Amino acid sequence: MSFDSLIGETKEALQQILPEGVQVTDIELEGPHVVLYTKQLEAFLSGADLLRQIAQRLHRRVLVRSDPASLSDPKEAEKQIREMIPPEAEISQLFFEPETGEVTIEAGNPGAAIGRGGAVLNDLKRRIGWVPTVVRTPPIPSKTVEEVRIHLRNSFDDRRSFLKKVGIRIARDPLPEKIWARNTALGGYREVGRSAHLLMTQNSKVLIDCGIDPGSDRTPYFNAPELLPL
């Protein structure tokens, strides 16, 4: 199935499944996911099971996000988040990503922030339009965790661009050529956790695992000729 065919099938499924008045403003592919943008996020959270029906029809995982034009102002959204999430959740930081309509909530007690059965998060989605994700605040201040999370936020655009490219490649028609695959062992097979594989096809190279022994100069064979350029 090509990219255009998948988008066409998705639009057809939406026409048949979505109730009147519920519209999808944009459709994107991000890796294995079909991402739907809508101004009526409430309809997908009301218990009508729309996402499950769409996913079963497409045989793919489906995500739904608010159309950027329908998102509440981040300052107002932050105010409502802090009002709706109980104090015992111990919110430390909030990070908004307008392009995807997602907000990351760092909390000392994630369970309290999420609520029983996700009740608090679902109420937040209905109120503010943003899709909240809760992560735990490190119980002990950790420079490593902080730097990793900063890197993930700073590299968001690159990761999203990569996922879109992967999504298009997954959806494309099979190439009319002989199919072959080769797996190269790059070392570490005699020690648990140190395996490294290079999977090659006629169209791609994928590095699977990259086991490195901390504090040692022993690494996989990064100088293998078939590894570069990756």
**How many CB atoms sit inside 10 A of residue 176's CB?**
5
Note if the bond before 229 is cis, omega within 30 degrees: yes
pLDDT at 114: 93
Rounded distance, CA 76 to CA 94, Å?
13
- Same topology for domains 1-69+141-173 and 71-137, yes or no? yes
pLDDT at 216: 62
pLDDT of 140 over the 70 cut: yes
For 158-205, the pLDDT digits (tens) are 988 999 998 888 887 777 777 889 998 887 777 777 788 889 888 788
pLDDT at 230: 59
Residue 197's identity, in one-letter code, is: H
CATH code for the part of the protein at 1-69+141-173: 3.30.300.230
For 67-118, the pLDDT digits (tens) are 888 888 999 999 999 999 999 999 999 999 888 888 999 999 999 999 888 8
Helix, strand, or coil (residue 152): helix
CATH superfamily of 71-137: K homology (KH) domain (3.30.300.20)
Mean residue pLDDT of the chain comes to 86
This prediction's pTM: 0.73
Domain-wise residue ranges, the chain: 1-69+141-173, 71-137, 177-230
pLDDT of 29 over the 80 cut: yes
- The pair of structure tokens assigned to 100 is 């995807």
Element (H, E) at 81: helix 74-84
pLDDT of 40 over the 90 cut: no
Residue pair 64/34 in contact by the 8 Å Cβ criterion:
no
**How many CB atoms sit inside 10 A of residue 82's CB?**
13
